[in-house]
């Protein structure tokens, strides 16, 4: 029986980098964002989205930019899209859970608490850094404006609340510090599994 660890954290906190550290420790990783990409790229989401939003399909794949425009014009469309995509993502996650061979399964889910996904996990780890460093990291990527960053952050549960609700908090101020914490968490979980 594998141990299911939810990995979450707000935008720019270092979640993807931390997820890779868990993989380096021998854990299996399921990435919610990657699952959506699979579903949109000639996957199971294409036909149902095509039926509801035909303009969003380009070359047999769901075009995310067009979906964003549709949501901007009609915010209620987001509910329709989520009603299509969320059950497909849940199926993808369940398939991974059944087939993965590792003793620890890590589920990289940005909105883990917001969607109630934490209840399906044995424990939750949250990545964190101070807000000023978070803002700096995101803006240094050059992929979004400060207004876009604030808009995304406003939709996410406050960082302090995510940390308070998590079993483990990983401070990602440096790669070495984060790596040590991941190593310790994996060690604690494996010790617990061995003694179960």
What pLDDT is attached to residue 168?
98
pLDDT in tens, 36-50: 999 999 899 999 999
Which residue is it, tokens 């803002």? 135
Domain 1-27+104-191 and domain 32-101, same fold? Reply is yes
Let me know how long the chain is.
196
pLDDT of residue 52: 94
Secondary structure element (H or E) that encloses residue 51, with its range: helix 46-52
Q: Give alpha helix (H) positions in 32-174.
A: 32-40, 46-52, 64-73, 77-99, 131-140, 146-155, 159-165
CA atoms within 13 A on the CB side of 10: 24
- pLDDT value of position 184: 98
**CATH number listed for the domain at residues 1-27+104-191:** 3.40.50.300
Q: What is the number of alpha carbons within 13 Å of residue 81 lying toward its C-beta? A: 21
Q: Report the relative pairing of strands 57-58 and 104-108 from DSSP bridges.
A: unpaired
Task: Please compute, for residue 48, the number of CA atoms within 13 A of its CA located in the half-sphere on the CB side.
Answer: 14
Sequence spans of domains, the chain? 1-27+104-191, 32-101
d(CA 1, CA 75): 42
pTM of structure = 0.90
Q: Which of 17-31, 52-66, 74-88 has the highest mean pLDDT?
A: 17-31
The pLDDT assigned to 144 comes to: 86
Burial class of residue 113 (count of CB atoms within 10 Å of its CB; 0-12, 13-18, 19+): buried
CATH code for 32-101?
Answer: 3.40.50.300
β-pairing, 104-108 vs 28-31, is parallel
Instruction: Work out the average pLDDT over 73-96.
Output: 92
pLDDT of residue 156: 84
Q: Could you give the CA distance from residue 178 to residue 181 in angstroms, rounded to a whole number?
A: 5
For the chain, percent of residues with pLDDT exceeding 70 = 100
């Amino acid at each position: 029986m594998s141990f299911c660890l939810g990995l979450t954290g707000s935008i720019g906190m270092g979640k993807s980098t931390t997820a890779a550290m868990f993989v380096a420790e021998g854990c299996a990783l399921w990435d919610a964002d990657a699952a959506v990409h699979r579903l949109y790229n000639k996957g199971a989401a294409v036909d149902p989205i095509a039926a509801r939003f035909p303009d969003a399909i380009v070359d047999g794949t769901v075009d995310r930019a067009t979906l964003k425009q549709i949501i901007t014009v009609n915010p209620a469309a987001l509910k329709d899209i989520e009603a299509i995509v969320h059950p497909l993502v849940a199926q993808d996650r369940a398939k991974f859970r059944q087939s993965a061979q590792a003793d620890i399964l890590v589920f990289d889910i940005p909105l883990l608490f917001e969607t109630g996904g934490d209840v399906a996990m044995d424990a939750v780890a949250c990545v964190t850094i101070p807000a000023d460093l978070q803002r700096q990291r995101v803006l240094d990527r050059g992929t979004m404006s400060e207004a876009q960053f604030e808009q995304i952050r406003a939709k996410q549960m406050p960082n302090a609340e995510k940390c308070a609700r998590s079993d483990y908090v990983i401070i990602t101020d440096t790669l070495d510090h984060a790596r040590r914490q991941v190593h310790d968490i994996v060690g604690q979980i494996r010790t617990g599994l061995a003694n179960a």
